[in-house]
Structure 1
Amino acid sequence: MTTDDMPSKEQVLILHDGDLTQTVRMLAAARRIRAYHPKARVTLLCGPDFEGLLKHCVYFNAVEPTLPDLAQKGFFERRKLARASQFDVVYDLDGGDAAQKVRRALSFSSTRWIRALPEPAGRGHPLDLVAARLGEAGLGQTHYALGEAPGPEVDWIDFVAKRSRTLEPAYFGLQGPYALFTPAGDDVKPALRWPKERWASLAHQILEAGIEPTIIGGPNAREVGRYIAHVAPGARDLTGRANLVQLAGLGRKANFAFGEDVGLLHLIVATGAPAVMFSPGEDAPHFDAPRGRHPTLLMHAPTLAQISVAEAVQAMRFAGGFANAPEAA
């Protein structure tokens, strides 16, 4: 938390530090907070992992990736920084030990503390539960049925794309319609992943529909990305070659996406792409599903190998991803 040149306008602090899925979901709450405090200076105090993406988000005036470091400081140093920052409202979207240390540092100040987190025993989608908690603080309604609360939107990435061609599909050699594949990486047990042979077969069918399959992910997804590109010539392997900002740029122009329950799929869905998510288990993961402007269809089975390529393609038909395809899938 910086102390220099603090403006006189209302000061709002948002606390959050989580994985990519949690960070994407946080954007839905941040959007609501920004709408409720349109003239305030909003600071996001977070961890360093996703600063490169979050610093472009229009909901925040400042992004400070120092929450873990702040938690390591002594109590009196934290209190001194907290008092000097003069925040009027703090939204706790984190709930971790670091956030609790910040709260204790502000315990004798006039700062309003809003804990917008699902209850530990709460049953529901995190987006609906957090929206309800914000509603209890005056930011909308206090109850949301499953799927009712607005999902995160990453439409602000358009402003970034206007300043950098590295977010455009052409930068990665994509000249026509394309679909994004977000397979789980080799850090996930094989039994919990869709077989790479199925991914390659899906790529063949996507290519026959005139759409270029594009595999994205981090270094842990390189093995499956290389396999798909090798077995299905014409598929493009971008695993380990693009950062989150660039991937968000690709997501906003993708025809659709397929993926397992990985953070990257949540980001792509938030950019506006319809999607199909593969999830192991007997029941559909309604409380874990990505949410965006277009539908995400959930495909689940005790083991993902039981989901066929034909079923995946048919699911995407229902999601509307082939509506603008060059030819029928």
Structure 2
Amino acid sequence: MKRILIIRTSAIGDIVFASPIAEALKRTYPQAHIAWLVEPGTDTLIRPDPHIDERILWPKAEWKALWRDGRRMEVFRRMRAFRTMLREQQFDVAIDLQGLLKSGVLAWMTGAPRRIGLGSREGSQFLMTEIVSRGGDSARISSEYLYLAQQLGLDTGDFMPQLYLDPNVEARALERLAANGVTPGKYVVFAAFTTRPQKHWFVDAWQKLAPTVKQQTGLTPVLLGGPADREAATEIAAGAPTIVNLVGQTNLAEAAAVFRHAGAVIGVDTGLTHMGIAFARPTVAIFGSTCPYSVTGRDNARVIWLGLSCSPCRRKPTCGGAFTCLRDITPEHVLAELQLAMGKAA
């Protein structure tokens, strides 16, 4: 394995979970050239990683926009050019961590003689030379990627999610915190937002938790999220004056830096929450309709999941919008778990 391409184009949480793969490859093949194919935006999470020699950006959004505008021939032209670029890299191995048709096509485009797919489906299995099932202990964080690494005979080490920061980005994030009167290590990040309502904890729960956390731990609640979360963040912050609302004010890399310097993290099943574990911050992860892991690999990270008979329902809730799996998780329960997490430093 002289030239290796990792394909995991998105999303935030999955890239965090997959992050140990690069280090395992570099540890096993220290002279190899390790590249990672990723979409613009999420690439900022892996850009400072010293184990990755090259980041290749897949302009998926540009291609989709051209397709919507009816410029189909231009899309095909760009696809051919992208394939040519990938083949010129002469990768020996392409490892598809997504296992979807789109990622399988990207692996095929490389022309790599060895194409390894993780749980390949949607037809991508026919584009691979090898398929590794999504095995391992499903309760453990990053389990499927660890299992793949083991099947490939890699030196896995502890195989924990780990992120790296650009010093300039880190400095900007600290400046923003200071401008809002927030001191590094003296705040708790609230990661309250996801793309699916069945993964959201309730507004009134966050509002009740905020002053209690401030009183019991001395940590200032800082709300983080993307531009699309601004309206929901305003609603939460309106009922909790102790919250510092930074939603939509940081890019992804800056948000990662905010997590790195947090005193603690509380969040739902979202990529930002998983950053808390990657940075070994005291973390409480609140799961309801999903439970991607219950074994965090960190003594200072706790998972709350009630395990109701209807959970996990993932994308097909059966509760008519009651989301009892989350409603029955009280602020008092979250605070108790936070105190346990903060009492067990990594």
TM-score tier (shorter): 0.7 to 0.9
Q: 1:229, 1:235 within 8 Å by CA — same for their partners in 2?
A: yes
**Greater mean alpha carbon deviation, residues 272-281 or residues 81-90:** 81-90
Unaligned regions of 5+ residues in structure 1, if any? Answer: 1-8, 142-147, 324-329
Give 3-state SS (helix, strand or coil) of 1:276's partner. Answer: strand
1:251-287 Cα distance to aligned partner (Å, 9 max, x none):
1111111111111111232122121122225xx82x4
* Alignment partner of 1:264 is 2:279: no
Q: What does residue 309 of structure 1 align with?
A: 331
| Counterparts in 2 of 1:257 and 1:58: CA distance versus 1, 3 Å | same
* Alignment partner of 1:31 is 2:23: yes
Within the candidate set 34, 38, 46, 1:42 is matched to: 34
| Counterparts in 2 of 1:70 and 1:126: CA distance versus 1, 3 Å | farther
* Alignment partner of 1:167 is 2:181: no
Aligned-partner Cα distance in 2 for 1:216–1:270: 17
Aligned-partner Cα distance in 2 for 1:163–1:221: 22
* Alignment partner of 1:220 is 2:228: yes
Q: 1:70, 1:98 within 8 Å by CA — same for their partners in 2?
A: no
TM-score under structure 2 length normalisation: 0.74
Aligned-partner Cα distance in 1 for 2:223–2:262: 12
Q: What does residue 299 of structure 1 align with?
A: 304
Aligned-partner Cα distance in 1 for 2:24–2:196: 34
**Greater mean alpha carbon deviation, residues 270-279 or residues 226-235:** 226-235
1:133-182 Cα distance to aligned partner (Å, 9 max, x none):
222222047xxxxxx9622111x21xx23675212242543126100001
Within the candidate set 235, 256, 260, 1:248 is matched to: 256
Q: What does residue 92 of structure 2 align with?
A: 88
Q: 2:141, 2:296 within 8 Å by CA — same for their partners in 1?
A: no
**Greater mean alpha carbon deviation, residues 36-45 or residues 255-264:** 36-45
Q: What does residue 4 of structure 1 align with?
A: none
Q: What does residue 136 of structure 1 align with?
A: 151
* Alignment partner of 1:21 is 2:21: no
Q: 1:297, 1:315 within 8 Å by CA — same for their partners in 2?
A: yes
1:286-329 Cα distance to aligned partner (Å, 9 max, x none):
x4358464533222345212122111111111112697xxxxxx
Q: CA deviation at 1:79?
A: 6.2
| Counterparts in 2 of 1:85 and 1:162: CA distance versus 1, 3 Å | closer
**Greater mean alpha carbon deviation, residues 71-80 or residues 192-201:** 71-80
Within the candidate set 130, 137, 153, 2:162 is matched to: 153
Aligned-partner Cα distance in 1 for 2:150–2:266: 33
TM-score under structure 1 length normalisation: 0.78
Unaligned regions of 5+ residues in structure 2, if any? Answer: 65-74, 120-131, 309-323
Q: Which amino acid aligns with 1:173?
A: G
Q: 2:286, 2:303 within 8 Å by CA — same for their partners in 1?
A: yes
**Greater mean alpha carbon deviation, residues 262-271 or residues 82-91:** 82-91
Q: Which amino acid aligns with 1:267?
A: M
Q: Which amino acid aligns with 1:134?
A: A
Q: CA deviation at 1:43?
A: 1.4
Q: 1:222, 1:240 within 8 Å by CA — same for their partners in 2?
A: yes
Q: What does residue 205 of structure 1 align with?
A: 212
Give 3-state SS (helix, strand or coil) of 2:229's partner. Answer: helix
Q: 1:43, 1:64 within 8 Å by CA — same for their partners in 2?
A: yes
Q: 1:178, 1:213 within 8 Å by CA — same for their partners in 2?
A: yes
Aligned-partner Cα distance in 2 for 1:184–1:163: 23
Structure-to-structure mapping, 1:231-246, within 5 angstroms? 231-246=239-254
Q: 1:27, 1:152 within 8 Å by CA — same for their partners in 2?
A: yes
Give 3-state SS (helix, strand or coil) of 1:22's partner. Answer: helix
Q: What does residue 133 of structure 2 align with?
A: 119
Q: 1:225, 1:239 within 8 Å by CA — same for their partners in 2?
A: yes
Q: What does residue 144 of structure 1 align with?
A: none
Aligned-partner Cα distance in 2 for 1:256–1:134: 30
Aligned-partner Cα distance in 2 for 1:167–1:309: 28
Q: 1:179, 1:213 within 8 Å by CA — same for their partners in 2?
A: yes
Q: Which amino acid aligns with 2:202?
A: P
**Greater mean alpha carbon deviation, residues 56-65 or residues 257-266:** 56-65
Give the root-mean-square deviation of aligned CA atoms. 3.2
1:48-75 Cα distance to aligned partner (Å, 9 max, x none):
2412333222222221112748996579
Q: Which amino acid aligns with 1:299?
A: I
Q: CA deviation at 1:223?
A: 3.2
Aligned-partner Cα distance in 2 for 1:273–1:15: 28
Q: 2:118, 2:148 within 8 Å by CA — same for their partners in 1?
A: yes
